[in-house]
């Protein structure tokens, strides 16, 4: 399950409630954001790991394992950024970032911390106001050896890449991956983190929207061409919003459920597929016109369980709520198979 960016900041009671609900439907892998800027707010002072410790302990207590996205740099990391050999410079100090990811790898046992993801959506203009494959490859080259030296058992993932349009500064996912290889990123990741959205379409059907699901063959071909055919692709975000405005691709709850199950089923057919993360567990908000608020399997207040909630349960555990084993559905299939790398 890929959870909301504020997950580690939730009140303890809400965190427990959310984790218990996820546990009840068979969630095993948990993809969370570790906000670098909150932990290491001031470089000279002791790091503030308390909320991350809480989340890791709570996940471990429920038998879950974690893919930790290191994101949200502190303000100080954007000051006096060391130059890298790229036309576009990183928005923060990549050496400091690498040191922080290594500290994360050292702090937690690989029995709970199984993977570290190097930011999220680096090909979109969010943290990286001007995304650039060369600059991001410099971050990968800095972080990978430090993480492996700190904890060799931790899998290192690229930041989750997605998107198909080159507008507003975005770089399409397959073009960004090609750029990473051109800039020497081979050997600096164990797994490709990918966001193969298909909504408003079921993956096996043609779609009027140009979604990343339909670019999976091109992405895989790039990996094979560059000698990375033995590496997995993890679907680190997949889902569909259940509200929004006309034309934005949002769907009703039944279609959200159908898309989730079909995506899981189709993704697992690939020999190179790794864990499959639903996005997301809890709705981000309640604005009826903002589709980003409505990707959850449950409502923002955790009170309403959408149809996809029970669909996930059936796929992950083989059982429906209050009933026996669901026929025709293999248990323990969502984000539960260990990586082969």
pLDDT given at position 30:
98
Chain segment 218-227, per-residue pLDDT in tens: 999 999 999 9
Q: Is the confidence at residue 45, as pLDDT, over 90?
A: no
pLDDT of amino acid 320: 63
Residue 14's H or E segment, with its range, is helix 12-24
- The pLDDT of residue 322 is 46
Strands (E), 4-154: 29-35, 65-71, 113-120
What Cα–Cα distance (Å) separates residue 111 from each residue in 59, 61, 64, 108?
A: 11, 11, 9, 8
Q: Is the pLDDT of residue 328 over 50?
A: no
pLDDT over 80 at 319, yes or no: no
- Average per-residue pLDDT for the chain: 92
pLDDT at 334: 54
Judge residue 227's burial from the number of C-beta atoms within 10 Å of its C-beta, 0-12 exposed, 13-18 middle, 19 or more buried: exposed
Whether the per-residue pLDDT at 282 is higher than 90: the answer is yes
Mind listing the domains of the chain with CATH numbers?
Answer: 7-317 (3.20.20.80)
Structure-model confidence comparison of residues 341 and 124, the more confident one: 124
Residue 44: per-residue pLDDT: 73
Lowest mean pLDDT segment, chosen from 49-58, 108-117, 313-322: 313-322
Please give the average per-residue pLDDT across 206-235, as a whole number. Answer: 96
Q: Cβ(240)–Cβ(251) under 8 Å?
A: yes
Listed range (2-11, 13-22, 45-54, 247-256) with the worst mean pLDDT: 45-54
pLDDT score of 192 more than 70: yes
Q: What is the rounded average pLDDT of the residues 221-250?
A: 97
- Does the structure show a pLDDT above 90 at 276? yes
Q: Is the dihedral of CA 176, 182, 184, 189 positive or negative?
A: positive
How sure is the predictor about 147, in pLDDT bands with cuts at 50, 70 and 90?
very high
Closest-CA residue to 15 (of 77, 66, 57): 57
Q: Phi and psi of 119, rounded to 5°?
A: 70, 180
**In the block, residue with structure tokens 């209050």:** 322
pLDDT band at 36; cut points 50, 70, 90: very high
Please give the residue that has the higher pLDDT: either 243 or 80. Answer: 243
Q: What is the dihedral sign for C-alpha 249, 253, 259, 264?
A: positive
Residue 340 — pLDDT band, cuts 50, 70, 90?
Answer: very low
User: What is the structure's pLDDT at 195?
Assistant: 98
Residue 277 reports pLDDT greater than 80: yes
């Amino acid at each position: 399950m890929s959870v909301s960016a504020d997950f580690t900041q939730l009140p303890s009671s809400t965190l427990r409630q959310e984790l218990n609900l996820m546990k009840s439907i068979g969630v095993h892998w948990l993809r969370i954001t570790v906000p670098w800027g909150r932990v290491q707010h001031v470089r000279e002072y002791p790091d503030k790991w308390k909320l991350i410790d809480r989340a890791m302990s709570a996940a471990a207590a429920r038998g879950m394992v974690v893919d930790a996205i290191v994101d949200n740099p502190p303000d100080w990391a954007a000051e006096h950024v060391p130059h890298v050999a790229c036309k576009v410079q990183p928005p923060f100090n990549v050496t400091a970032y690498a040191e922080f990811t290594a500290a994360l790898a050292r702090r937690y046992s690989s029995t709970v911390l199984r993977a570290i993801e190097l930011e999220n959506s680096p090909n979109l203009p969010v943290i990286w106001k001007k995304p650039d494959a060369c600059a991001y490859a410099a971050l990968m080259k800095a972080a990978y050896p430090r993480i492996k030296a700190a904890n060799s058992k931790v899998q290192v993932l690229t930041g989750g890449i997605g998107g198909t349009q080159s507008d507003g500064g975005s770089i399409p996912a397959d073009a960004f991956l090609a750029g990473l290889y051109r800039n020497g990123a081979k050997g600096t990741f164990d797994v490709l983190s990918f966001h193969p959205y298909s909504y408003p379409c079921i993956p096996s059907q043609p779609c009027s929207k140009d979604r990343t699901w339909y670019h999976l063959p091109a992405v895989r071909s790039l990996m094979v061409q560059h000698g990375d055919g033995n590496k997995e692709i993890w679907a680190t975000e997949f889902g569909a919003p259940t509200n929004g405005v006309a034309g934005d691709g949002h769907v009703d709850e039944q279609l959200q459920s159908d898309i989730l199950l079909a995506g899981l089923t189709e993704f697992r057919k690939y020999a190179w597929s790794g864990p499959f993360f639903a996005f997301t567990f809890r709705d981000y908000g309640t604005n009826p016109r903002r589709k980003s608020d409505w990707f959850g399997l449950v409502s923002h207040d955790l009170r309403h369980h959408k149809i996809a909630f029970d669909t996930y349960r059936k796929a992950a555990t083989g059982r429906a709520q209050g009933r026996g084993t669901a026929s025709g559905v293999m248990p323990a299939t969502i984000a539960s198979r260990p990586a082969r790398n």
